[in-house]
């Protein structure tokens, strides 16, 4: 981003010569610089068309932020397929609780937190959820969480075992591959991990954090932990969408996911072949006309 606003780095005029032999600076055409931005919305002086996105925000209707970003995406195909597919009946009865840090268990988005219009879930029931279900359904809840809120929360809820054996990406992948379900708890958002789980044949529980109370099944009004999965339309048996505060629904989803095996699943747009095609388009398109269009639009906007 520093280069964008450095006159010794960029050439902002799309009608200037591509090469300036006597220039004393880099003279990189601004319309040949793209910025990868993980979240929706533009993040480039020339706007959305020059912002590369990991998700196809154009299908996130009715949301419009980021609709015009260039969807480059990413693929986990080459890495996740290196991890052997473990047959369902060879896996322990294990649920991987996806939370990078302990602070996610006390965040507002935590899946067991009640919504504003719900009756409060008793704190003891929130704390006992994993231990109770572990006993009732013979499920081992595991995860790897950093101690990122010392003095506020120093351990996960009872019934969750922290896997100290996870020390790198490969051991993390193996822990997921050995699980029968990956359970999202509300954070982190838009992580690649749910896609990686699906690639290894492990279903994902996707917390729904907000929705239209008058039309609770209108998915266009849902806000989820993994909106990319939501707007792609994935559903059972690959993804189980559970509303925040729905303890009964969460328990049912965990049980059903563990009893309903899936094979590896990679969405077509996340295959390497699709990434290569979108990259080909990116480098072959003449972006100078689009830069002129964006500059013209910017020039007419009120300051």
CA distance 38 to 227: 13
Q: What is the b/e burial string over 105-137, where b = at least 16 CB atoms within 10 angstroms of the residue's CB? A: beeebbbbbeeeeeeeeeeeebeebbeebbeee
| Same domain, residue pair 88 and 65 | no
- Is there a contact between 116 and 238 (Cβ–Cβ < 8 Å)? no
Question: pLDDT by residue (tens digit) across 160-196?
Answer: 999 999 999 999 999 999 999 999 999 999 999 999 9
| Same domain, residue pair 11 and 89 | no
Q: In which domain, by residue range, is 13 found? A: 2-74+271-300
Q: Sort 155 into a burial class: Cβ within 10 Å, 0-12 / 13-18 / 19+.
A: exposed
- Is there a contact between 7 and 25 (Cβ–Cβ < 8 Å)? yes
| Same domain, residue pair 123 and 64 | no
CA distance 287 to 289: 6
CA distance 202 to 206: 13
140-151 average pLDDT score? 91
Of 124 and 68, the one with more pLDDT: 68
Q: Sort 195 into a burial class: Cβ within 10 Å, 0-12 / 13-18 / 19+.
A: buried
| Same domain, residue pair 92 and 224 | yes
Q: What is the pLDDT of residue 296?
A: 80
Looking up residue 124, the CATH number of its domain turns out to be: 3.40.50
Q: What is the pLDDT of residue 118?
A: 52
Question: pLDDT by residue (tens digit) across 25-69?
Answer: 566 788 888 999 988 888 888 889 999 999 999 988 777 778 899
CA distance 46 to 285: 16
* pLDDT exceeds 70 at position 12: no
| Same domain, residue pair 64 and 89 | no
| Same domain, residue pair 171 and 195 | yes
Strand partners, 160: 141
Q: What is the pLDDT of residue 22?
A: 46
Looking up tokens 């015009």 gives: 68
Count the domains in the chain.
2
Q: What is the pLDDT of residue 216?
A: 94
| Same domain, residue pair 213 and 171 | yes
* pLDDT exceeds 80 at position 6: no
Q: What is the pLDDT of residue 32?
A: 86
In a domain, 233, yes or no: yes
In a domain, 17, yes or no: yes
Q: What is the pLDDT of residue 78?
A: 95
| Same domain, residue pair 70 and 132 | no
State CA 293 to chain mean position distance.
32
Token digits of residue 113: 């937190």
| Same domain, residue pair 282 and 193 | no
* pLDDT exceeds 50 at position 20: no
CA distance 30 to 291: 8
| Same domain, residue pair 127 and 161 | yes
Three-state secondary structure of 56-68: CHHHCCCCCCCCC
What 3-state class would DSSP assign to 115? coil
Token digits of residue 149: 């809120």
CA distance 237 to 143: 22
Q: How confident is the model at residue 16 (pLDDT cuts 50, 70, 90)?
A: low
- Is there a contact between 250 and 50 (Cβ–Cβ < 8 Å)? no
Looking up tokens 């969405």 gives: 267
Of 150 and 14, the one with more pLDDT: 150
Classify strands 181-184 and 239-243 as parallel, antiparallel or unpaired. unpaired
Classify strands 35-36 and 51-53 as parallel, antiparallel or unpaired. parallel
């Amino acid at each position: 981003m520093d280069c964008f606003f450095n006159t010794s780095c960029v050439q902002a005029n799309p009608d200037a010569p591509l090469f300036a032999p006597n220039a004393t600076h880099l003279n990189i055409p601004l319309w040949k610089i793209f910025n990868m931005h993980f979240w929706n919305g533009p993040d480039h002086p020339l706007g959305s068309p020059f912002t590369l996105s990991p998700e196809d925000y154009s299908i996130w209707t009715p949301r419009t932020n980021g609709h015009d970003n260039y969807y480059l995406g990413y693929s986990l195909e080459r890495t996740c397929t290196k991890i052997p597919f473990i047959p369902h009946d060879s896996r322990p009865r294990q649920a991987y609780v996806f939370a990078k840090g302990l602070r996610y268990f006390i965040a507002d988005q935590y899946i067991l937190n009640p919504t504003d219009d719900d009756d409060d879930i008793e704190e003891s029931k929130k704390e006992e959820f994993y231990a109770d279900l572990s006993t009732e359904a013979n499920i081992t809840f595991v995860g790897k969480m950093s101690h990122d809120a010392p003095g506020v929360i120093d351990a996960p809820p009872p019934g969750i075992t922290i896997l100290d054996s996870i020390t790198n990406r490969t051991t993390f992948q193996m822990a997921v591959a050995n699980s029968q379900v990956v359970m999202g708890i509300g954070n982190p958002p838009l992580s690649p991990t749910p896609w990686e789980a699906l690639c290894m044949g492990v279903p994902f529980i996707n917390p729904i954090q907000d929705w239209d109370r008058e039309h609770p099944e209108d998915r266009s009004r849902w806000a989820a932990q993994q909106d990319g999965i939501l707007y792609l339309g994935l559903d059972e048996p690959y993804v189980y969408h559970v509303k925040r505060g729905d303890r009964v629904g969460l328990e049912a989803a965990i049980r059903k996911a563990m009893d309903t095996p899936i094979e590896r699943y990679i969405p077509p747009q996340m295959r390497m072949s699709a990434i290569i095609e979108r990259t080909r388009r990116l480098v072959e398109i003449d972006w100078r006309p689009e830069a002129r269009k964006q500059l013209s639009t910017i020039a007419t906007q009120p300051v």
